């Protein structure tokens, strides 16, 4: 019985943490993927430390000319791009709506 209470106590702590991580709110401003810090990139939905680091590493060798180039970064595919596109920019302008060509799976 003690194990059950311990398990429930752990669940009571973990469930809100997991739920909070899953419902991360997108920033209220466009994030420039060519200049954003790792911490700023991590504010984007679906972007954790590893993907933020991968974006920074990629852009050091290949600055982004368009948001759709994010699919060149390991771990970012068409579906992720579709989620990110309303929140990111490459030049500080207001992000455009996703286009069919930007979300086409290669």
| pLDDT computed for residue 74 by the predictor | 93
- The tokens for 3 are 């194990």
Taking alpha carbons only, the member of 60, 62, 64, 67 closest to residue 87 is 67
Measured between alpha carbons, how far is 37 from 26 in angstroms, rounded to an integer? 16
Query: Which pLDDT does position 13 carry in this prediction?
Result: 66
pLDDT at residue number 1: 77
Helix runs in the chain, H state only: 2-22, 38-41, 49-61, 78-84
Per-residue pLDDT of the chain (106 residues; tens, 9 = 90+): 777 566 666 666 665 555 555 555 666 789 999 999 999 999 999 999 999 999 999 999 999 999 999 999 999 999 999 999 999 999 877 665 554 444 444 4
């Amino acid at each position: 019985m003690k194990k059950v209470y311990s398990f429930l106590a752990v669940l009571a702590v973990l469930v809100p943490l997991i739920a909070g991580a899953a419902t991360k709110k997108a920033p209220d401003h466009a994030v420039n993927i060519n200049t954003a810090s790792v911490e700023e990139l991590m504010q984007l939905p679906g972007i954790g430390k590893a993907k933020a680091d991968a974006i920074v590493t990629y852009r050091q060798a290949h600055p982004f000319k368009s948001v759709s180039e994010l699919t060149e970064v390991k771990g970012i595919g068409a579906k992720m791009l579709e989620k990110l596109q309303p929140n990111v920019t490459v030049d500080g302008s207001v992000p455009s709506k996703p286009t069919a060509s930007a979300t086409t799976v290669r």
